[in-house]
C-alpha cells in the first residue's frame, strides 16, 4: 500500500474545509488527493490493491454531528444519517415494518462483519468490483482514462447489460441503492459551495465516455443524509436478490419492487434493478407498462421485457437478460402476494 496521511476532522464543516482547495472541484472524488473514509470496507480494500491512491484520508467517523448516526422515522419519511451502519439500518424495526424493501436490500448484502463496519454513505458510493478494474496491470478506462477496457472482450460474466457504453461495462454492485432509486430517495450533501439536496437518481452518472466520473459529487462534498419518502407503496415492497450462492455474494440480478395495489390492479409501482446495470437502475419503462394494469404473470412478463428492451449483452453475460427478466417477474408476483 502507498503511504498516506490520516486525519480526523471533528465536524462536517471542518472536513469540507480540509478537503477544499483550488483543484477539488475539477477531479472526481475518487481521483482526488484528499479522500474521505467511512467504514473503509471499499476504499481501504482498493488502496491495498493500488486502485485507490489518496495521499490523505479524512476519517468521517470522528465527525461530531449526532444526526449523522441517527435513523429518524416520521409519518412521511425515513431519514438515515450517512454514518449509520448497514447492519443497524437492516435490523431497525421501524425500517423493516414501514418499508421491508429497504431492510432487505441491506440484510442481503455483504456479510455480518461488513455490515457492522460499512456505512450507508459509503455503501451508495461503493465502486465496481470489475476484476480488471481491481488489478492495476490491465487496461481500464475507469481506473486510467483512455487506456481501454479489458473487460469488453475479456471475462465479463458479472458485467452489466444496461447503461453500458463503448468505454465501460462495469456493473454497479450495490443493493441498497436499488431500493433508494426505486423509492425516490434524496441525498443531502454538504460541500464548499454549501448544502444541497439531490435526487438519488441523479447521484450516479452513466459511464458514457468518462467512466472515471462516477457521481455528481465534487471531491470536497460529503453526503450527510439519505431520505426516503414513505408512500402508499412503501409497505408492500420487497428486494429479491439472485446470486451464485445463498449468502455473501453480489447479485447476478436483483429487483427492488414497491407496489400500491387496488385489488389486483396496479395503482402505482416502483422498480429498481441490480446486478445488471452500470449505475443504480430505475426501470421506468417497466413501471409504465404496469401502471393501471391487472398484475398477473403476463403483465409482469411484459413489464420485464420492457425493462430489458435496450439491454446489450457481451460474451459471458447474455444470461443476465433472461435472468433479469425472470427476477423481476418473480419479484413483482411475490410483492403482489405479500400480506401487508
Partner 1 sequence: MNQAAPAPRENQGDPVVRIDARLKVTGQASYPADIATANVAYGALATSSIARGRVSALHLQDARAVPGVLDIVTYGDMDKTDTPKFGNTGASSIGPLHDKTIFHDGQIIALVVAETFEAAEEAAMLIRADYDDEQPSASFDSKGTSTEAAAGKNPMLKEDAKAGDFDAAWAAAAVKVDERYSTPTQHHNPIELFSTTAMWQGDQLTIHEPSQNVTGWKMELARQLKLDPANVRIISPYIGGAFGSKGPMTARTAIVAVAARRIGRPVRCVVSRMQAFGAQTYRAETRHRIRIGAGKDGRITAFGHEGWEVTSRPDPYVVGGTSATARMYNYGSVLTHVALVHADRNTPGYMRSPPETPYVYALENAMDEMAVALGMDPVEFRRVNEPVKEPIGGRPFSSRSLIKCYDQASEAFGWSKRDPEAGSMRDGDWLVGMGCATAIYPTAAAPCAARVRLTADGEVRVQCGSHEIGTGVRTVAGQMAAERLGVGMEKVSVEMGDSALPPAPVSGGSISTASVCSAVMMACDAVRAKLFAAAAGKDGPLAGSGNAKLDMADGKIVTETGKSAKLADVFKAMQVGAIEEYAEFAPKGSSPEALNKLYAGQPEFHGGESDKDSVKYAFGAEFVEVRINSRTREIRVPRIVGAFAAGRIMNTRTARSQLMGGMIWGIGQALHEATEIDRRAARYVNRDLQDYLVPVNADIKAVDVILVPEVDHEVNPAGVKGLGELGNVGTAAAVASAVYHATGKRIRDLPIRIEHLIV
Ligand X SMILES: Cc1cc2nc3c(=O)[nH]c(=O)nc-3n(C[C@H](O)[C@H](O)[C@H](O)COP(=O)(O)OP(=O)(O)OC[C@H]3O[C@@H](n4cnc5c(N)ncnc54)[C@H](O)[C@@H]3O)c2cc1C
**Distance between CA 8 and CA 122 in Å, rounded?**
17
Residues that bind partner 1 (CB under 8 A): 1-3, 50, 129, 131-132, 135, 137, 150, 153-155, 157-158, 242-249, 252-253, 319, 322-323, 326-327, 329-330
Given the complex with partner 1, which of 232 and 322 has the nearer CB atom? Answer: 322
Residue 121 partner contact from partner 1, ligand SF4, ligand X, none using kind-dependent CB cut-offs of 5 to 8 Å = ligand X
DSSP string across 223-285: EEEEEEE--TTSSSEEEEEE-SSSSS---SEEEEEEEEEETTEEEEEEEEEESSBSS-EE-HH
The set of cell numbers assigned to 176 is 441498497
Which one of 116-124, 192-200, 203-211, 260-268 is the stretch in contact with ligand X (CB under 6 A)?
116-124
Q: How many residues of this chain interact with ligand SF4, rule: CB under 6 A?
A: 14
Please report, as residue ranges, which positions from 165 to 194 form the binding site for ligand SF4 (by CB under 6 A): 168-170
Size of the site for ligand X (CB under 6 A): 32
Q: Which of residues 193-212 bind ligand SF4 (CB under 6 A)?
A: 211
At which residue does the C-alpha cell 454549501 appear?
194
Distances (CA, A) of 79 to 91, 100, 181: 15, 15, 15
Cell readout for 327 is: 427476477
For the chain, the distance separating the N- and C-terminal CA atoms, rounded to the nearest angstrom, is 50
- For ligand X, the closer of residues 4 and 301 by Cβ is 4
Give the chain's length: 340
For ligand SF4, give the closer residue by CB, 155 or 338. 155
Tell me the closest approach of the beta carbon of residue 114 to ligand X, in angstroms: 5
- CA angle at 314 for the pair 311 and 319, rounded to the nearest 5°: 70
Report the residue closest to ligand X, judged by CB. Answer: 122
As a whole number of angstroms, the distance between CA 282 and CA 73 comes to 24
CB of 219 to partner 1, least distance (A): 24
- Measured distance CA(193)–CA(203) in Å, rounded: 17
The residue within the footprint of ligand SF4, chosen from 150, 183, 217, 290 (CB under 6 A), is 150
Does position 38 bind ligand X by CB under 6 A?
A: yes
133 binds, among partner 1, ligand SF4, ligand X, none (CB under 5 to 8 A by kind): ligand SF4
Site for ligand X, rule CB under 6 A: 30, 35-43, 45, 60, 82, 86, 109-110, 114, 117-119, 121-123, 125-126, 173-176, 222-223, 250
Amino acid at each position: 500500500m502507498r503511504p498516506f496521511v490520516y486525519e480526523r476532522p471533528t465536524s462536517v464543516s471542518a472536513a469540507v474545509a480540509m478537503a477544499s482547495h483550488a483543484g477539488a472541484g475539477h477531479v472526481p472524488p475518487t481521483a482526488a488527493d484528499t479522500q474521505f473514509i467511512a467504514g473503509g470496507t471499499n476504499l481501504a480494500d482498493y488502496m491495498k490493491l493500488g486502485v485507490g491512491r489518496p495521499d490523505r484520508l479524512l476519517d468521517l467517523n470522528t465527525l461530531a454531528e449526532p444526526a449523522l448516526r441517527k435513523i429518524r422515522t416520521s409519518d412521511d419519511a425515513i431519514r438515515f444519517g450517512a454514518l449509520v451502519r448497514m447492519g443497524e439500518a437492516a435490523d431497525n424495526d421501524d425500517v423493516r415494518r414501514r418499508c421491508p424493501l429497504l431492510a432487505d436490500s441491506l440484510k442481503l448484502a455483504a456479510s455480518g462483519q461488513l455490515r457492522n463496519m460499512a456505512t450507508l454513505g459509503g455503501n451508495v458510493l461503493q465502486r465496481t468490483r470489475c476484476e480488471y478494474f481491481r488489478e492495476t496491470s490491465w487496461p481500464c478506462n475507469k481506473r486510467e482514462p483512455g487506456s481501454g477496457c479489458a473487460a469488453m472482450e475479456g471475462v465479463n460474466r458479472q458485467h452489466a447489460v444496461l447503461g453500458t457504453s463503448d468505454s465501460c461495462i462495469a456493473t454497479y454492485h450495490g443493493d441498497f441503492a436499488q431500493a433508494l432509486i426505486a423509492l425516490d430517495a434524496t441525498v443531502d450533501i454538504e460541500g464548499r459551495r454549501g448544502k444541497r439536496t439531490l435526487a438519488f437518481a441523479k447521484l450516479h452518472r452513466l459511464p458514457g465516455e468518462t467512466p472515471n466520473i462516477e457521481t455528481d459529487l465534487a471531491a470536497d462534498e460529503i453526503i450527510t443524509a439519505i431520505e426516503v419518502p414513505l408512500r402508499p407503496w412503501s409497505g408492500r415492497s420487497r428486494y429479491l436478490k439472485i446470486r451464485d450462492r445463498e449468502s455473501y455474494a453480489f447479485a447476478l440480478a436483483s429487483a427492488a419492487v414497491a407496489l400500491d395495489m387496488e385489488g389486483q390492479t396496479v395503482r402505482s409501482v416502483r422498480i429498481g434493478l441490480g446486478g445488471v446495470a452500470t449505475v443504480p437502475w430505475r426501470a421506468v419503462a417497466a413501471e409504465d407498462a404496469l401502471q393501471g394494469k391487472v398484475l398477473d404473470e403476463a403483465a409482469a412478463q411484459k413489464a420485464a421485457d420492457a425493462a430489458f428492451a435496450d439491454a446489450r449483452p457481451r460474451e459471458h453475460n447474455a444470461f443476465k437478460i433472461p435472468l433479469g427478466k425472470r427476477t423481476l417477474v418473480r419479484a413483482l408476483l411475490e410483492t403482489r402476494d405479500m400480506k401487508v
